[in-house]
Amino acid sequence: MKHPLLAILLSGFAIRISAAAQPNILWFVVDDMSAHFSCYGETLIQTPAVDRLAAEGTRFTRAYVTAPVCSACRSALITGMYQTTIGAHHHRSGRGELKIHLPEDVAPVPALFQKSGYFTCIGSGLTDLDFRGLPFGAAKGKKKAASSQARLGKTDYNFEWDAAIYDSHDWAARGAKPFFMQVQLHGGKLREGDAPQREAFHQRVIAELGSATDPQKVTLPPYYPRDPVLLEDWALYLDSVRLTDLHVSRVIARLEKEGLLENTLIIFMTDHGISHARGKQFLYDEGARIPFIVRGPGIPKGGTRTDLIEQIDMAALSLAAADIPIPAKMQGRDIFGRDYKARDAAFAARDRCDETVERLRSVRTDRFLYIRNFYPQRPLLQPCAYKDGKAIVQRLRSLHEAGKLPSISEDLLFSPTRAPEEFYEYQDDRYQLVNLAANPDFRTQLESHRARLDQWMADTHDQGPESEAMYDSDMAEYLKKKSPEVVNNIALMKRWAKEGK
């Protein structure tokens, strides 16, 4: 028995407590957000609810996603498997005529909970507000908003799955069963949209929180210029963190009111870092490092752990907390298990995102981050309709074209090619600015990490590049949007592929 909270010792035998005493499991999964919370050192804003979870539980300072983009990350976290192992590593893949199916011995975690008698649900965690923290039905048709199906939370899995693995959008109808709940929140996406939408969000922040973050006070990574557009966006992003924290506080208050908090294991995490030029979709800390906090029965209070963990570990620790056997092939680990040995490395991968073909792999150890670029002849910021539609990326491109970017921005964001390998002493080099791959003083460490990544790719059966047939199948869905940018980008990807670029 890994978690003593689920058993009592009587005459030398472990006796299971009744099902009613099984802990509820609640995941907060937040879109597009890095660890910009007070308990992680952010000083410009206050996040009392997430700080409370940290104070009453255990905070992990070195948690990383295995994929820095929504669908690939979510495909991994819901199975406890590397997305590269199960073939779900290309963003929004399997949406066309060709489908992706899980291996027979891999199942979504909600199905395992359901099979073990849990009531499974996915939604906002509140009965009156949606995933944005707005009343249900806001900017939607009343008929659609009134349905239970419309209140289900974000899934975004790249493989085929049965919707019946979720019993409801909320735990209210659980009866006597314990529940497994995913609270899916809009997070950093709250700030997105055109100028009127961003202004509307700004006004909402003032109305709900009393004030908005001052753009002039934000701290940007050194490779982003202190341009008004970027400063305003970062301030809005920090306000999205504040509104996320408010939503978390409301869910906690509901658990307390219903007498459920003390018997609920809570995990708070995000599905990748901030959506920015060098953040989301990339393997640097800006895109891959996430907050990860666990609070609940048997979890050390006020603890801080600095060992490396991956977001897929949440699947294993949740099953263990519920006394459900962890599948033998699950790659996530019970990080609170009595027999747990801390990881000495964390791995991540980025592949095609929307129409933009890419392949990156990385390994982090205690001191170093190694990244392999499989398409070094392509720029970091390849054309991508999704990212190029953002005001911040548009502004960066316009400053680049006008020759007004500082040299660090030019070098890191707009170099026409990339080094095949990147190697950073990432704890000291917080923003991964200095590539040590060509430095002879680090040759031994570089070779060690190169070999370590090769071994991981082999051991986990990395599925590698997407076939042309699968790419065409998924792009047929993208072409339905009738976007000229998408059409041009697809043609460019195919041309570059033929050129060996």
pLDDT digits (tens, 9 = 90+) for 18-53: 344 799 999 999 999 999 999 999 999 999 999 999
pLDDT at 210: 98
pLDDT at residue 20, rounded to an integer: 45
For residue 60, the SS3 value is strand
pLDDT at 148: 65
Residues 6+ apart with CB under 8 A from 318: 25, 27, 109, 180, 265, 267
- Minimal CA–CA distance to 308: which of 272, 281, 333? 333
Q: Is 32 left (phi over 0), alpha (psi -120 to 50) or beta?
A: left
Domains and CATH numbers, the chain: 4-189+245-336 (3.40.720.10)
Residue 130 CA from chain centroid, whole number: 20
Q: How confident is the model at residue 368, as a pLDDT?
A: 98
CB 478 within 8 A of CB 354: yes
Averaged pLDDT, 117-123: 98
Predicted pLDDT at 21: 79
**pLDDT attached to residue 4:** 40
> Average pLDDT of the chain?
94
Tens-digit pLDDT profile for residues 53-98:
999 999 999 999 999 999 999 999 999 999 999 999 999 999 999 9
- What is the signed CA dihedral for 328, 329, 331, 333, rounded to 10 degrees? 0
Chain segment 337-379, per-residue pLDDT in tens: 999 999 999 999 999 999 999 999 999 999 999 999 999 999 9
Phi/psi region, residue 154 (left: phi>0; alpha: psi -120 to 50; beta: rest), is beta
Q: What is the DSSP letter of 301?
A: T
pLDDT at 8: 31
d(CA 225, CA 210): 29
- Rounded to an integer, the average pLDDT of 186-214 is 98
- Does residue 143 carry a pLDDT above 50? no
- Buried-exposed string 483-499: b where 16+ CB fall within 10 A, e elsewhere: eeebbebbebbeeeeee
Residue 141 has pLDDT above 50, yes or no: no
> Which pLDDT band holds residue 150 (cuts at 50, 70, 90)?
confident
Give the model's pLDDT for residue 147.
62
pLDDT at 459: 98
Residue 193 pLDDT exceeds 90: yes
b/e per residue, 183-209, with b = 16+ CB within 10 A?
Answer: bbbbbbbbbbeeeeebeebbebbeeeb
- The tokens for 349 are 């991968």
The mean pLDDT value for 201-224 works out to: 98
Convert the pLDDT of each residue in 440-494 to its tens digit.
999 999 999 999 999 999 999 999 999 999 999 999 999 999 999 999 999 999 9
Q: Could you read off the pLDDT of 273-316 as tens digits, one per residue?
A: 999 999 999 999 999 999 999 999 999 999 999 999 999 999 99
Tell me: pLDDT of 138 over 90.
no
14 pLDDT more than 60: no
Question: d(Cα 108, Cα 303) in Å, to the nearest integer?
Answer: 30
List of residues 6+ apart from 220 with CB closer than 8 A: 226, 230, 231, 234
